[in-house]
């Protein structure tokens, strides 16, 4: 059963922050955003990717129109050094070609069909205008939605592209997103987040973690990158290490149908001043459970469902 704890969303908090700043009280962009991050956020995972092809303009437009607080984007670099929004290391799953994304130039990627696969996989949500949807650059997303929209960006290929963080931060700065307090950076790579922090400390960072069993028959959970111990043995000191550079932690809820975190994990992280965002939750009962636990945000392919629950 859901608690009666009132939920305030990022949109409402930002309205308060705007009034607070315009009244003459000084508050820089990160202070405003940290204030906003105290409230529950609906994070549109690759856009409204349950309704439209992931990481395409139609998916983000739907998420924006549905009232998502953040558009979630994965950033990688092309063969010619352009920042594109794409999740997988290869283009096989979501385009009509194959191979590593980093082997393709921007022009080559943008000649591909990044939408028809969705219609085939999701006939109940198929639309003819999804056919031929393009791979897009980060700049194109910002061109469409501007600085009034907020972006939750994951650095995907930092170990393969050592200039990715610098290029990303240059773009975000030049386009006014950092000054506007309109971006959060997330990564599974602690090194990538620390690199972002060294470039500009005025961007909230979220450390992603993925918990799974140590072996097929084991009840012991471990974390994919080793950035923390398993949730059963994680300590305040482990959370404090993350808090040195990040404002939040993003975790999976389940692994192959079994829960890997619980309410105690959420409360322990929050007690160490970390926001807790959980991915990727699409069914309403799981959303309700996480809201009851008091999580600070949920990644979902169906932002419309989560918006209905929280507003």
List the catalytic residues: 45, 87
Q: What angle do CA 165, 78, 89 make, to 5 degrees?
A: 85
The total of other beta-carbon atoms located within 10 Å of residue 28's CB is: 12
Q: What angle do CA 101, 119, 75 make, to 5 degrees?
A: 30
The residue among 199, 179, 189, 178 whose CA lies nearest residue 75 is 189
Core vs surface per residue 286-309: b (16+ CB within 10 A) or e = bbebbbebebbbbbbbbbbbbbee
The total of other beta-carbon atoms located within 10 Å of residue 76's CB is: 24
SS3 103: helix
SS3 115: coil
Chain length of the chain: 311
């Amino acid at each position: 059963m859901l608690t009666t704890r009132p939920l305030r969303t990022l949109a409402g908090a930002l309205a308060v922050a705007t009034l607070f700043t315009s009244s003459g009280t000084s508050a820089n962009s990160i202070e405003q955003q940290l204030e906003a991050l105290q409230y529950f956020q609906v994070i549109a995972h690759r856009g409204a990717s349950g309704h439209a092809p992931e990481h395409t303009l139609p998916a983000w437009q739907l998420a924006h129109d549905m009232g998502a607080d953040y558009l979630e984007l994965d950033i990688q670099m092309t063969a010619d050094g352009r920042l594109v929004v794409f999740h997988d290391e290869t283009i096989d799953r979501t385009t009509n070609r194959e191979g590593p994304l980093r082997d393709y130039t921007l022009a080559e990627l943008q000649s591909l069909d990044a939408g028809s696969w969705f219609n085939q996989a999701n006939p109940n949500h198929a639309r003819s205008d999804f056919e031929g949807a393009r791979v897009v650059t980060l700049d194109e997303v910002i061109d469409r939605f501007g600085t009034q929209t907020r972006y939750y960006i994951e650095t995907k290929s930092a170990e393969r592209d050592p200039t990715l963080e610098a290029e990303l931060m240059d773009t975000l700065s030049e386009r006014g997103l950092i000054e506007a307090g309109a971006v959060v950076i997330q990564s599974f790579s602690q090194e990538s987040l620390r690199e972002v922090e060294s470039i500009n400390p005025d961007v909230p960072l979220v450390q992603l973690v993925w918990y799974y069993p140590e072996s097929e028959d084991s009840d012991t959970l471990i974390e994919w990158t080793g950035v923390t111990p398993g949730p059963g043995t994680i300590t305040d000191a482990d959370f404090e290490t993350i808090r040195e550079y990040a404002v939040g932690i993003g975790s999976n809820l389940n692994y192959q149908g079994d829960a890997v975190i619980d309410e105690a994990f959420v409360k322990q992280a929050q007690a160490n001043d970390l926001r807790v965002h959980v991915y990727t939750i699409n069914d309403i009962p799981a959303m309700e459970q996480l809201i009851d636990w008091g999580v600070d945000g949920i990644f979902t392919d169906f932002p419309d469902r989560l918006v209905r629950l929280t507003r």
